[in-house]
Amino acid sequence: MEQTKYILDEKQMPTSWYNIQADLPEPLPPVLHPGTKQPITPDDLTPLFPMELIKQEVSTERYIDIPEELQDIFRLWRPTVLYRARRLEKALDTPAKIFYKYEGSSPPGSHKPNTAVAQAYYNKQEGVNRITTETGAGQWGSALSFAGALFGIEIKVYMVKCSFYQKPYRRIMMETWGGKCVPSPSPDTNIGRKFLKEDPDCSGSLGLAISEAVEDAVSRDDTHYSLGSVLNHVLLHQTIIGQEAKIMMEKIGAYPDIIIGCIGGGSNFAGMFLPFVKDKIDGTKPDLRIINVEPASCPTLTKGLYAYDYGDEAGLTPLMKMFTLGHEFMPPPVHAGGLRYHGMAPIICHLHRLGLVEAKAVHQLGTFEAGITFARCEGIISAPETDHAIRVTIDEALKCRESGEAKTILLAHSGHGHVDMAAYDDFLSGKLQDYAYPEEKIKAALAQLPLNGK
């Protein structure tokens, strides 16, 4: 009988995170203070983050132990299942072998609690009882609200306005776990009031929601800020995904030729591919392809400029060297709200610049077509973000049909779409549309980069 799913025993769950900074061919460019433009120090970050997370952010140790209390919580949903997509392979009539690591089995339904629980834990250890954050599609906000419930921490979430109204059940999930969620821009902060005054119908962006959450955090002594993507420590926590996948594939005698995942800030996909890209760096697997997939309407890696930029709209956050569309860029309101971010994780940008990973941009309608195909073959209704990766997975499998190559493809499946049904309804009823590449808006935003775009 052909095996379809591969499961690790709880005892085989990784007990440490893998830190790619130990193995980078070149170190990451320094992060700069938003005021002085000089390299940032740990003390500069203490108003926002607990010291243990700051240490992880700059660490070059290859492995960092996962505390036992966190391991116990992770076992609520980890290890997650690795599936062989045999029905999809048959439908595509491809010789390719398609595997996917499914993160939708976590309580919030995505990969996000892998870092949300860790960040809540370290904040609680430091005596912090209130955390602010932003969220795009709501996966991160719901994950942090879940983590807040576990540790008795008050959570305030600024959710991008277009997603707030597109995805009401995400807000309800947050509130069920005790979080408070408001649409961004909101009247709760100075930056929010400014944008509402300028444009009462502003659809919002992740950069703007980050500004609101950071402003809220620094204005209170009892509050820290938490970010669900981009930063080094966030990607670090997600590497439990790739480590599990690697153990599973080794057990079945397989290794991917291609790894595919969606990117907005980059945490989900980096969590999958970082333990594998080490093999490419050290020369063990030089031909491994790693494909980052993003929306054509917000094409950070494929069309952005590699330069220092703020992580938020208002310029409150440190300056990071990354591919960016400009921190003032307001992306079109696509349903994949988790991918509507002007920048990208510096680690992914660094690896892309070094030629170790590649990127593709796809349009919204094509991603939902792929999501429908996947659902009708594999049964899982995927998040709109994940549909981007499914689109390219199908495309690569079809290329294998044309060439006759039996390549092994590994898909990073970041979560289910059970609270994204309005998006599927729009697609099935013909209301969904593709958005053109907003070239003029991006040019205008890039003209506002700090440090003259360097």
> CATH no. for residue 284?
3.40.50.1100
Give CA–CA dist 100/84, Å, rounded.
7
Mean pLDDT, to the nearest integer, of 431-446? 87
336 found inside a domain: yes
pLDDT, tens digit, 9 for 90 and up, residues 67-122 = 999 999 999 999 999 999 999 999 999 999 999 999 999 999 999 999 999 999 99
Evaluate whether 156 touches 179 at the Cβ level (below 8 Å).
yes
- Ramachandran assignment for 204, one of left (phi > 0), alpha (psi -120 to 50 degrees), beta (any other): left
Q: Using CA of residue 65, residue 69, residue 72, residue 74, what is the dihedral sign?
A: negative
Domain count for the chain, please give it. 1
Average pLDDT for the chain: 94
Domain extent at residue 282: 68-109+232-453
Backbone angles phi, psi at 293, to 5 degrees: -115, 130
Q: What angle do CA 442, 387, 343 make, to 5 degrees?
A: 30
Structure confidence at residue 329 as a pLDDT band (50, 70, 90): confident
Average pLDDT over residues 137-166: 94
Domain membership flag for residue 437 = yes
* In a domain? residue 210: no
Instruction: Work out the pLDDT band at 346, boundaries 50, 70, 90.
Output: very high
Contact between 232 and 238 (Cβ < 8 Å): no
- Written as one letter, the residue type at 90 is K
Residue 117 lies in a domain: no
Token reading at 255? 């290794």
Could you tell me the two tokens for 235? 């990607």
Tell me whether residue 370 is in a domain.
yes
For range 15-24, the mean pLDDT? 98
The distance in angstroms from the start CA to the end CA of the chain is 57
Is the residue at 141 inside a domain? no
What are the two backbone dihedrals, phi and then psi, of residue 220, each rounded to the nearest 5 degrees?
-130, 140
Give the residue from 205, 175, 171 showing the smallest Cα distance to 191.
205
pTM of the model: 0.95
In a domain, 171, yes or no: no
Cα dihedral 374, 246, 103, 227, rounded to 10, equals -130
Nearest to 263 by CA among 240, 289, 293, 303: 293
Residue 24 lies in a domain: no
Burial of residue 3 (number of CB atoms within 10 Å: 0-12, 13-18, 19+): exposed
Contact 98, 85 (CB under 8 A): yes
More confident residue, 285 or 335: 285
Bridge-based pairing state of the strands 130-135 and 154-160: parallel
